[in-house]
Amino acid sequence: MQPSRQVSSSAILPPAAIEFLQQPLAAQLATINPSGSPHQTIMWFRYEEGSFLITTTTDRIKFRNVQHDPRASLTIVDPASMWRWVIVNGILSVDGRDPVAFYRGLAKHYLDRERFAEWQHRAVLERRTVLRLTPRRVRTMGFPEA
């Protein structure tokens, strides 16, 4: 049976969704191209204190898109059940933390020791920045309400 959808106009997530977001899950980020069309990409992310943090380089399309329109959407679907997901609409801004340290921390979260060692040899660390998605609207499915 399909679980019910919970839609909130606030940016508050239920505790079960917050726990879900601590896993190393892929997220789909959508930004807005100058033409108005969507640009989508799969990202690593970290949920921290109500915001979603990602990293990119300043020469990527998603970063350039944020410069002209900071609106974005992030979707995280449970790989074990398409009926369990979190969708966040919000505003992206540059976060001032050390982007290389943040990227390394993400890699350690997402990769096992062997893959992390490989990642260290090929990761692009130059021109890196951290972006913070501040939620304006959150929709979830498959999580008990708080």
Residue 146, pLDDT above cutoff 80: no
Residue 8, pLDDT above cutoff 60: no
Residue 146 lies in a domain: no
- The boundaries of the domain holding residue 28 are 5-141
Q: What are the φ and ψ backbone dihedral angles of 63, each rounded to 5 degrees?
A: -70, -45
Share of the chain above pLDDT 70, in %: 92
139 three-state secondary structure: strand
pLDDT 10s digits, 63-86? 999 999 999 999 999 999 999 999
Asked if 62 and 90 touch (Cβ cutoff 8 Å), the reply is no
What CATH number is attached to the domain comprising 126? 2.30.110.10
How many independent structural domains does the chain possess? 1
